[in-house]
Amino acid sequence: MTDQLARLNRLPLRDNLRGLTPYGAPQLDVPILLNVNENTHGVPEDVLKAISEAVTAAAAGLNRYPDREFSELRSALAEYLGHGLGAENIWAANGSNEVLQQTLQAFGGPGRTAMGFPPTYSMYPLLASGTDTEYVTGLRAAGYGLSAEYAAEQVRERQPNIVFLSSPNNPTGTGLGLDVVEAVYGAGEKSQTIVIVDEAYHEFAHDGTPSALTLLPGRERLIVTRTMSKAFALAGARLGYMAAAPEVTDALRLVRLPYHLSAVTQATALAALQHREALMADVEDIKMQRDRIVSELTRMGLKPAASDSNFVFFGGLENPHAVWQALLDCGVLIRDVGIPGHLRVTAGTEDETTAFLEALERILTGQTAVPA
């Protein structure tokens, strides 16, 4: 036991937090960073100028609290999402993780359960622990698929208070059919289960892929979460949001901290939404690089999963961690997600993608040594 851990264990920490480790991917200083699904294109110059001007204007009023209801931002997000949504359907917080946390605070807690279907986003069980909500795991089919019938059967059996459905799923990148969402929602009728569809990567889905937003009418227990971290290249701004029935946003008001969205955050998000055309142009380039990665990895004899996200999950590796280390030694950082035989890589710029593909091929063909 380390001295730091020993000191931590002397504190009166809640029992369900003992032994846990904080969430976090390696933050290393290497030339090519493709490990945490950031938008590596950065903020376009004209959008950066607009954000700077908006933040400067907001700074003049920093002696006052921000708009607690962030009314203008909620209206702008509703307009962006469409589907007949209004400001009353929208809620936002400091990243979609905080939206999920607030949802667990409102609908989870001691004596209640949240359910996920691993492999999926690793923050779900940590958010559950942080709110003293029991986290139960469902099962996926071989190849990490999830059918409507199988998912619904498990929800009926376990009767969780909250279900997490990630679409596209992280780390696999695969989309989820709306039939799965409908089936899970119906299966949770008896237990009044809150169903959260995490669409953090939806903007990267293939054209024509439907969103769970289309299912919101008449489903007051359905929540669809999004983020501006990925498609909008605003990971550093921390702005996530959700769409749901107005009564759900009212529930989150009961647990949110006062003035939780700063004036700077609101100004940044509004400026980005007003210039989304430039940002969406980069999304199209990222989708091209993602599809290029899938094609090239297949040519190399690996097994990439079909991806509707800005990353690619791929298998066929005998020693994935050794390959991860060899790539790092070449100056390319990707993600070892701890799944046997697999790694995950973010689709970056054309140059970053080329650097990754060329380094990986050298490793696979023996031109670059793999650590023992």
Side-chain-side CA neighbours of residue 87 (13 Å): 8
Residue 1's pLDDT is what?
Answer: 57
For residue 237, what are the contacts with CB-CB under 8 A and spacing of at least 6? 228, 229, 265, 268, 269, 272
What is the distance between the alpha carbons of residues 77 and 308, in angstroms, rounded to a whole number?
Answer: 22
For residue 246, what are the contacts with CB-CB under 8 A and spacing of at least 6? 88, 89
> Which residues face 223 on adjacent strands?
196
Residue 372's pLDDT is what?
Answer: 67
Each residue's pLDDT expressed in tens, for the chain with a length of 372 residues: 578 888 888 899 998 888 877 877 778 889 999 999 999 998 999 999 999 999 999 999 999 999 999 999 999 999 999 999 999 999 999 999 999 999 999 999 999 999 999 999 999 999 999 999 999 999 999 889 999 999 999 999 999 999 999 999 999 999 999 999 999 999 999 999 999 999 999 999 999 899 999 999 999 999 999 999 999 999 999 999 999 999 999 999 999 999 999 999 999 999 999 999 999 999 999 999 999 999 999 999 999 999 999 999 999 999 999 999 999 999 999 999 999 999 999 999 999 999 999 999 999 999 988 886
Domains delineated in the chain: 3-44+278-364 (3.90.1150.10), 45-275 (3.40.640.10)
State the amino acid at position 232 in one-letter form. F
Residue 131's pLDDT is what?
Answer: 96
DSSP states along 236-276? TT--EEEE--HHHHHHHHTTSPTT-S-HHHHHHHHHHHHTH
Per the CB < 8 A criterion, the answer to whether 364 and 357 are in contact is no
Residue 371's pLDDT is what?
Answer: 80
